[in-house]
Structure 1
């Protein structure tokens, strides 16, 4: 980053970015992250990595805070802040290695295809969750958001040519990627708390007193149902969650989604979310919000916003595995 012309810029993205609009309501983050996590289990190397290395059930709060720090820093932060947090993620990826049991093949987080797929699924999850919880984006806004998220991908080591540039390309990418998805035993192990409310011993929720565990489990299953509403039917079929919606009907789930968005999007909800994120991340978001206000609000700032060149942000990775699948971006 020090040699890049972007290093002198005020923002990694800046006021007027569609990403600033999409991530404004904390409910979008909550649902999008859960949605992405569910879909990641369908890619067997991701499921293996989650079982071998992830502590999502043991400490879900730390997991959400870690990803919030990355997401908000790369969207609302300065280039230096975005690079610092992305550097932490890249260093953490070094330890994510193992053997995927379905194929017996080794996996490594620092792999071209896996890094690209992770970013593509997260980008798709932001859009799907925003449109369910807040409202539809214009076609140009979807394209703008996809283009902006290539900056976040570059910070993790994904070159722009390995990520979709438009919303249509993103949908084709995921459709092709889906052909290789499967829900094996490891995926079922990860999904079980969301499907049946069974939390492993030693996990934060599994160690709660019975009544609190029941209430928290029901809340998480309710959030899972909201995330499922945003998915392609083919993805829901692959997940095959063996239960009815927690609230018994899709209409009730949609109503709960609206309540979630209204609650977390209110001043009180935003304040509570900022306390959850911790002071440093909350300060980044507040500073960005103030800058957008000084620029005349999002709509006015968007008139002059230009997405930065993601190639200026690409982080080199020494141990990168060359396993790119060009078919996911083929026309």
Structure 2
């Protein structure tokens, strides 16, 4: 695996700006309301790789006992990698890589012996995330040119390398990303672990009081339905959900409506504290580069 960089490899200004910075396409996509739908789409897509899904099922802390905590940790990881300082990002990367270390098993349906930190499995998870966040953003109406879409894929190479993927194998353009999925589709399937994971994503367990006294259930149902409906057609077919109740046109319309409704909420309420903190932090770094 690739060694994790040291904070000594960066200048103080680079540390403050993080690995992407305010002028990146990554900041634009990851701070948009469509990001939440893209994250759910990514989880559903990732579950279709039998070996990668087995690793989650076997070794992910809290996957069956406290799934909400696991989702929260995943969201915090992506947010810190995107908006944190490089020091903060490296801290969470080392924590996750440490959790992956020395975890190995055999996936029953394929018979493959694997380690959780195998580079091809890390690449699969990365590519699902990039493809999901980018495609969801574009369908939701985030203004992105083809060149900016390619730039996003290229920016995300650093995220893949940091977690341990082989840099030479990481797609750098939208076309390379599409070619990756074309090449791996024959390996994908809905295993029992994937079926259980998809059920959790689509209909997660919630305490009774949460369902009765809060809008959590209908809110999540909306996000989950959009996440599933925006999967590629081939992925919906693998799941046996070719339409999932919505046509591609209807799914896109629903996604755009969701985004517009979310954008009506003031940014100070809509955006997470880490995003607001990042904007304030980089403002202090601008004089350093003037």
1:258 equivalent to 2:262? Answer: no
The Cα of 1:60 is off from its aligned counterpart by 4.0
What secondary structure is seen at the aligned counterpart in 1 of 2:156? helix
Distance in 2 of aligned mates of 1:290 and 1:263: 28
1:241 equivalent to 2:247? Answer: no
* Superposed counterparts of 1:207-226, under 5 Å: 207-208=207-208, 212=212, 216-226=216-226
What secondary structure is seen at the aligned counterpart in 1 of 2:105? strand
Distance in 2 of aligned mates of 1:43 and 1:107: 13
Distance in 2 of aligned mates of 1:270 and 1:160: 37
1:271 equivalent to 2:258? Answer: no
CA contact (8 A) 2:131 2:177 kept: yes
CA contact (8 A) 2:31 2:275 kept: no
Seen in structure 2, the aligned counterparts of structure 1 residues 184 and 6 have a Cα distance that, compared at 3 Å, is same
Give TM-score, length-normalised by structure 1: 0.72
CA contact (8 A) 1:18 1:141 kept: yes
Seen in structure 2, the aligned counterparts of structure 1 residues 63 and 29 have a Cα distance that, compared at 3 Å, is farther
Seen in structure 2, the aligned counterparts of structure 1 residues 167 and 38 have a Cα distance that, compared at 3 Å, is same
Query: Can you list the C-alpha shifts for 1:137-194, whole angstroms capped at 9, x where unaligned?
Result: 2111011101100111121122321201111101101111112101122211222245
Tell me the residue number matched to 1:76: 83
Give TM-score, length-normalised by structure 2: 0.82
What secondary structure is seen at the aligned counterpart in 2 of 1:106? strand
Residue in structure 2 matching 1:184, options 173, 191, 207: 191
Query: Can you list the C-alpha shifts for 1:214-240, whole angstroms capped at 9, x where unaligned?
Result: 975554343222123432211110111
What secondary structure is seen at the aligned counterpart in 1 of 2:73? helix
Unaligned runs of 5+ in 1: 296-331
* Superposed counterparts of 1:50-69, under 5 Å: 50-54=56-60, 55-56=62-63, 58-69=65-76
1:34 equivalent to 2:40? Answer: yes
RMSD: 3.2
Distance in 2 of aligned mates of 1:175 and 1:291: 44
Seen in structure 2, the aligned counterparts of structure 1 residues 67 and 210 have a Cα distance that, compared at 3 Å, is closer
Residue in structure 2 matching 1:18, options 22, 25, 30: 25
What secondary structure is seen at the aligned counterpart in 1 of 2:20? coil
Unaligned runs of 5+ in 2: none
Seen in structure 2, the aligned counterparts of structure 1 residues 90 and 211 have a Cα distance that, compared at 3 Å, is closer
Q: Give the number of equivalent residue pairs.
A: 279
Distance in 2 of aligned mates of 1:237 and 1:162: 27
The Cα of 1:64 is off from its aligned counterpart by 3.0
What secondary structure is seen at the aligned counterpart in 2 of 1:98? strand
Seen in structure 2, the aligned counterparts of structure 1 residues 183 and 5 have a Cα distance that, compared at 3 Å, is same
Distance in 2 of aligned mates of 1:39 and 1:28: 17
